[in-house]
Amino acid sequence: MVFSSIDFLFLFLPAFLMCAAAAGRSANAILLGFSLVFYAAGEGVFVAVMVASICWNYLAGRLIDEAKGRKRRLWLALGIAGNLAMLGHFKYLTFLAQDVLGLSGAVAGIHLPLGISFFTFQAISYLVDLHRGQCALERSPLRLATYIAMFPQLVAGPIVRFASVAEALRSRMVTPTDITQGMLLFAGGLAAKVLIADTVAEAADALFGTDAEQLRADAAALAVVAYTLQIYFDFLGYSLMAVGLGRMLGFRFPRNFNHPYVSLSVTEFWRRWHISLSTWFRDYLYIPLGGNRLGPVRTYANLALVFLATGLWHGAAWTFVVWGMFHGLFLVIERAGLGAVLARLPILVRGAYTLGVVMAGWVLFRAENLEHATAIFGALTRLSAPMPAAAVLTTELALTLVCGVILVGPWVGRLLARQIALPSVEPLPAPHPRALALGLALFGTLFVLSAIKILAGSYSPFIYFRF
Amino acid sequence: MQHFANPRICRSVMVGLAVALAVPIAAGFATIDPEKRARALNRPLAEWPTTEEARQDPIGVVGRLADMAADRSLGLLTSARWLNQLRYETLGDPGGANVVRNGDFVFLTDHDLNGRPDYRAIHASCAARDAERSQEIIARAGVLADASGTPDRKSAILVVPSKPVLYADRLPVAVPADLRDACMEARADLQWAAQLRKTAAAQGFLAAYPFRAFDDKRDKPHFYPPENFHTAGWSAHFAAWFVLNRLYPGEFVPGSPGFGTVRAKADMPSVYLYDRDIQLRTPRYGKARATRDKADEADLQARYPEVLEFRVWRSTERGSGRTAVVIGNSFSLYIAPHLAVGFDRLVLIYQNRLRVPGARRLYTEVIPEIDPDAVIYIHHDAAHMTGRAFRPLEDAIRINKAKARRATSALKPAANPGDIGEHDGDE
């Protein structure tokens, strides 16, 4: 089940809100119950994988908490190994056997349960934080299960640290401002996903789905631009919806995006893009590896390793490996000296460099394989080919691209913030009633427009005059 | 534990939001007529799983419930209609998932759609017209003409040029370039039509693919409605009288009636979901105009239910004394009213819903009963190129022939005359 579907918006969510409004002491049980239904609706029996993960991490947490010295470290290692083994089996075994070891046919047909990377990383962060003493043992299986399975951020993040929600899992206060902010965030996220990401996705899918040899340079460029906007607004939309739902329930999830496309270096981009993942890797991989404390060479090696892992986290394919290494390479180069050079250049040049690198990376990320990515790069220089950009460029797409480009920056938000209550991940004081009314009207309208598009999208005409 | 800072306000807002969100599905379940919705979606609606299904796949019940709710949600069709209207009327975009657009010109890409367009409808129109395919089409057309013809009865096959071929140069760039090239080639390659015409003449029936005549007229305003998939108005009349003039030379001069421009509704309403107004140039037949005879239709329908769909037109003013049977796909629905002007009674059998049992009765009972002066098959070029024009008629003809052969051999003089009675009993 996805947030932008009829069944979630008009069936699951109202049923959940109705129960949540009545909940008091049973709030966690209700949230867990709905989360399991949410997961089972999309993944069927694979809900058992999540239940197994909950049981494993509950047990590992208790063993870590009770052990002392080396044993404590051993239980942590075992706990993490169990999580990684599960992730490895479902996500990487096929890739390892077929693409790395060349054992075609040895492993096939392993289903990848939705959100497994997210809930596994959350669980690992719980075990590590517990071991480090940064959070207390969660003795209640219900609370730990609620943390791991919580449906708002289950499918697409943000990756929430246990420490940041532990208190709220015990006792949380929901204010009217939380509810209105949650609604604004959800509506804004839904609009980003449905009105922008899904619209540009049609062009991106059509162009990336076409034989790259057929694409003229303008079509290839449109494919890259459309995908650049699609992935941002899609991911941003899901994150905002997750944060909004969490806020309505009294949880404060972390901000996941901070206008990444206005970054002036690739290093800055990774401070603004999928923040919960990059900080996860920083805290649980980069720093334990030594971070930047062991000299330049070791720092570069650590960065490369972290970005190899980042690439693999996104998917089990060579394209993701190369995408991760590509970003890692630019981070290393920037740290080795390019960063200092960039700092002296005009902002526009720095922005263009960053966006160029990021967009080139998205080609690797989106392509079917490395040959396809190479062909798309080749198409970017092809002046004569059968398929121009006009083949997919409708007025709706053009308007959406313009809106998307305008909205990637913080400027519109800054312009409107004084007049209208806008969605904000950070807690803000209660807005002026007029601003709140305008905010609700604006985002209510966006919600209705998104709902219309979702409803319309389920109509697939079949014309009866078969010939 | 969850607390509310202001329980009354917080709970009211959450419940209010829940109620508002539940409206599309709750109101949908209360007000939607499932049969009507199923017709609009052209498929059965998802249903509540049976006890057996729920027992076999208990977790799947949630998914089934979701499908069921989505199918019955209020505003599903209205939303699609609004979006199509916005896209077509305001933004100038295609305004339908199954169509592409170039200015006013709309082309159907697929009759049904799963995700991205496959351009199957355009592929069908512009399919390669190689010698082997041409020979096959000609042979199959001959089988149809032969099955319905008698020495006193005229047989005709009208192949209507479709828009992707006639207006190949106006296909938008959204259509893959190689497919646009194929359509341009199809425009130029009329060898198969000439061959079909010659073979038909030799076999005593008429075959017409009035491409050149259509091409001469194609740029006249309102000839082939740009928003339509089908011929309508002037082009439908033109196709009809093209045939009439060849069946009954001298009686029907194309364009002889006066013409007027009228407002009409575009076809493909299931794509657009709203009535798109178009301008049609239509002939003014005056008193010779043919009108539907619903009583006759109902009578035929009652007696031949397997044939599924009859339409009957009568033009008594003309008094030609002639009767026709038209068998065809959706293009025939637009052309038959114009053809009907040439006959006292014209019976159309709509082929798209016909199955083999109905087609068999068509040849063995319906046509002999009507005893028409002419049997006219009408399809567009795509239906001919893909062979769909011939289904299920060919199968019915083959089975009828086989049965007739068996019956004939059974009736051959037996060595012992007494055996005949036994054979009769077997039949």
- Per residue in B169-227, pLDDT (tens digit) is 999 988 888 899 999 999 998 888 898 899 889 988 899 999 999 999 999 988 999 99
Touching check for B125 and chain A: CB below 8 Å? Answer: no
**Contact list, A183 vs chain B (CB under 8 Å):** 17
Per residue in B103-137, pLDDT (tens digit) is 889 999 888 766 667 898 999 999 877 778 788 88
Q: How far apart are CA B220 and CA B224, in angstroms?
A: 9
Q: Kindly report the length of chain B.
A: 427
Q: Give backbone dihedrals phi and psi of B370, rounded to 5 degrees, phi first.
A: -70, -35
Inter-chain CB proximity B5 and A452 less than 8 Å: no
Residue B319: band (very low, low, confident or very high) from pLDDT cuts 50, 70, 90 = confident
Inter-chain CB proximity B111 and A467 less than 8 Å: yes
Touching check for B391 and chain A: CB below 8 Å? Answer: no
Residue B88 and residue B96 in contact, taking contact as beta carbons nearer than 8 Å: yes
Residue A2: band (very low, low, confident or very high) from pLDDT cuts 50, 70, 90 = confident
The nearest CA of chain B is from the CA of A147 a distance in Å of 14
**Contact list, B331 vs chain A (CB under 8 Å):** 467
- Taking all residues of chain A, what is their mean pLDDT, rounded to a whole number? 90
Substitution target from B1, B229, B331 for chain A, most A beta carbons within 10 A: B1
Touching check for A402 and chain B: CB below 8 Å? Answer: no
Inter-chain CB proximity A179 and B268 less than 8 Å: no
Q: Is the pLDDT of residue B254 over 80?
A: no
What are the b/e assignments for A410-449, b being 16+ CB within 10 Å? eeeeeeeeeebbbbbbeeeeebeeebbebbbebbeebbeb
Residue A310 and residue A282 in contact, taking contact as beta carbons nearer than 8 Å: no
Q: Return the closest-CA partner of residue A309 out of A289, A294, A339.
A: A289
pLDDT at position A46 is 87
Q: Is the pLDDT of residue A189 over 90?
A: yes
Touching check for A173 and chain B: CB below 8 Å? Answer: yes
- Measured from the Cβ of residue B399, the count of other Cβ atoms closer than 10 Å reads 16
Q: Is the pLDDT of residue B43 over 80?
A: no
Q: Return the closest-CA partner of residue A259 out of A232, A291, A228.
A: A232
Write the residue in B9, B83, B113 that is nearest to A460 by C-beta: B113
Per residue in A360-402, pLDDT (tens digit) is 999 999 999 999 999 999 999 999 888 899 888 999 999 999 9
Bridge-based pairing state of the strands B2-4 and B310-314: unpaired
Inter-chain CB proximity B116 and A206 less than 8 Å: yes
pLDDT at position B413 is 55
pLDDT at position B266 is 87
pLDDT at position A284 is 94
Substitution target from B6, B62, B81 for chain A, most A beta carbons within 10 A: B62
Inter-chain CB proximity B6 and A176 less than 8 Å: yes
Touching check for A205 and chain B: CB below 8 Å? Answer: yes
A314 is catalytic: yes
In whole angstroms, how large is the CA radius of gyration of chain A? 23
Residue A463 three-state SS:
coil
pLDDT at position B215 is 95
Q: Return the closest-CA partner of residue A129 out of A78, A164, A156.
A: A164
Q: Tally C-beta pairs within 8 A across A and B.
A: 219
Q: Is the pLDDT of residue B417 over 90?
A: no
Per residue in A400-412, pLDDT (tens digit) is 999 999 999 988 8
Residue B175 and residue B107 in contact, taking contact as beta carbons nearer than 8 Å: yes
Inter-chain CB proximity A11 and B69 less than 8 Å: yes
Dihedral sign computed on CA atoms, order A343, A344, A347, A350 = negative
Inter-chain CB proximity B42 and A10 less than 8 Å: no
ipTM associated with this complex: 0.84
Q: How far apart are CA B101 and CA B427, in angstroms?
A: 58
Q: How far apart are CA A292 and CA A385, in angstroms?
A: 48
Q: Which one from A314, A327, A372, A432 is the annotated catalytic residue?
A: A314
Substitution target from A394, A463, A464, A466 for chain B, most B beta carbons within 10 A: A463
In whole angstroms, how large is the CA radius of gyration of chain B? 27
Residue A413: band (very low, low, confident or very high) from pLDDT cuts 50, 70, 90 = confident
Stretch A231-241: mean pLDDT, rounded?
93
Touching check for A213 and chain B: CB below 8 Å? Answer: no
Inter-chain CB proximity B79 and A453 less than 8 Å: yes
**Which of B 77-96 lie inside 8 A of A, CB atoms?**
77-80, 82-84, 87, 91-94, 96
More confident residue, B139 or A216: A216
pLDDT at position B168 is 95
Inter-chain CB proximity B5 and A27 less than 8 Å: no
Touching check for A136 and chain B: CB below 8 Å? Answer: no
The nearest CA of chain B is from the CA of A353 a distance in Å of 32
The nearest CA of chain A is from the CA of B217 a distance in Å of 25
Inter-chain CB proximity B270 and A11 less than 8 Å: no
**Contact list, A453 vs chain B (CB under 8 Å):** 79, 83
Per residue in A297-342, pLDDT (tens digit) is 999 999 999 999 999 999 889 999 999 999 999 999 999 999 899 9
Bridge-based pairing state of the strands B323-328 and B345-350: parallel
pLDDT at position B253 is 66
**Which of A 305-364 lie inside 8 A of B, CB atoms?**
none
The nearest CA of chain A is from the CA of B97 a distance in Å of 8
pLDDT at position A460 is 59
Write the residue in A172, A210, A462 that is nearest to B112 by C-beta: A462
pLDDT at position B115 is 60
Q: Is the pLDDT of residue B420 over 70?
A: no
Q: Point out which residues pair with B380 in neighbouring strands.
A: B160
Touching check for A392 and chain B: CB below 8 Å? Answer: yes
pLDDT at position A463 is 47
Inter-chain CB proximity A172 and B124 less than 8 Å: no
pLDDT at position B389 is 83
**Which of A 19-78 lie inside 8 A of B, CB atoms?**
20-25, 27, 37, 40-42, 44-45, 47
Touching check for A17 and chain B: CB below 8 Å? Answer: yes
Choose from A163-172, A220-229, A250-259 the range with maximum mean pLDDT.
A220-229
More confident residue, A79 or B48: A79
Task: State what percent of residues in chain B have pLDDT above 90.
Answer: 37
DSSP tag of B93: S
To which residue do tokens 């083949």 refer?
A: A391
Stretch B231-251: mean pLDDT, rounded?
91
A72-76, A458-462, B244-248: least confident range? A458-462
Q: Which residues contact B142 (CB under 8 A, 6 or more apart)?
A: B199, B200, B203, B205
Inter-chain CB proximity B70 and A7 less than 8 Å: yes
Inter-chain CB proximity B4 and A47 less than 8 Å: no
Q: Is the pLDDT of residue B392 over 70?
A: yes
Q: Which residue of B has its CA nearest to A176?
A: B10
Inter-chain CB proximity B173 and A15 less than 8 Å: no
Residue B425: band (very low, low, confident or very high) from pLDDT cuts 50, 70, 90 = very low
CA distances (Å), B386 to each of A306, B111, B124, in order?
56, 14, 6
Transcribe B286-336 into DSSP letters: GGG--EE-HHHHHHHHHH-GGG--EEEEE-TTT----EEEEEESHHHHHHH
**Contact list, A209 vs chain B (CB under 8 Å):** 116
Residue B419: band (very low, low, confident or very high) from pLDDT cuts 50, 70, 90 = very low
Residue A409 and residue A257 in contact, taking contact as beta carbons nearer than 8 Å: no
